[in-house]
Amino acid sequence: MEIGKNFFIPMPVVLIGTLCSGKPNFMTVGWCARANASPPMISCGIGNHHYTPKGIEETKTFSVNIPSSKLLRETDYCGIVSGKETDKSEVFDVFYGPLKTAPMIRECPVNLECRLMQTVPLPTNTLYIGEIVAAYADENVIRNGKPDFPDIDPLLLTMPDNRYWTLGNYAGDAWSAGKELIKQE
């Protein structure tokens, strides 16, 4: 059956960190995905009416922070109130990397420090494409040398039902589970 075309795939929830007029600001964003393999780049679709684009354009940097489900209230708060009217600089403990203008969130288990590479203007949103110049993780989420996603405990957002979800159960190995369908000649 046909449904409304304003459909959203399940989206990882991230907090975008920027310096706006010198002050750290954080915005909850669901339209974020990897964009380029090498060098690693990430793309974030942000509504043009938001405050965060101002910070990205001022500093040409931003951060992508992955909150765990423990931070659900704070994460949702950063999506409800705008930095235009509300100072969100004290919501989290902030740290900086070598770019110096991409505020990152100590409470988030993973942080990506990004340099703006390209902006793609669209009718109501803009894609901000950043190169990941450094990545940080809480030591508690590292297993066998890699960040472990059940330990990161990220949030997913679905729309238009507007609900947050945790990551579920392990379902299979990628580039592996489908091998048995490969026809042998």
Distance CA 17, CA 113 (A): 9
Task: Report the site for a second copy in 6-25 (rule: CB under 8 A).
Answer: 6-12, 14
Q: Answer yes or no whether residue 75 interacts with a second copy by CB under 8 A.
A: yes
According to the binding rule CB under 8 A, does residue 32 interact with a second copy?
A: yes
Q: Which of 72, 94, 99, 116 binds a second copy (CB under 8 A)?
A: 72
Task: Measure the CA–CA gap between 134 and 28, rounded to whole angstroms.
Answer: 21
- Name the DSSP class of 155: E
CB of 74 to a second copy, least distance (A): 7
Separation between Cα atoms, residue 152 and residue 150, nearest integer Å: 6
Asked whether position 96 contacts a second copy by CB under 8 A, the answer is no
Residue of the chain from 60, 82, 127, 151 that contacts a second copy (CB under 8 A): 127
Q: Which of 60, 84, 105, 156 contacts a second copy by CB under 8 A?
A: 156
Distance CA 137, CA 131 (A): 17
Residue in 21, 171, 184, 185 binding a second copy, rule: CB under 8 A? 171
* Separation of first and last alpha carbons in the chain: 39
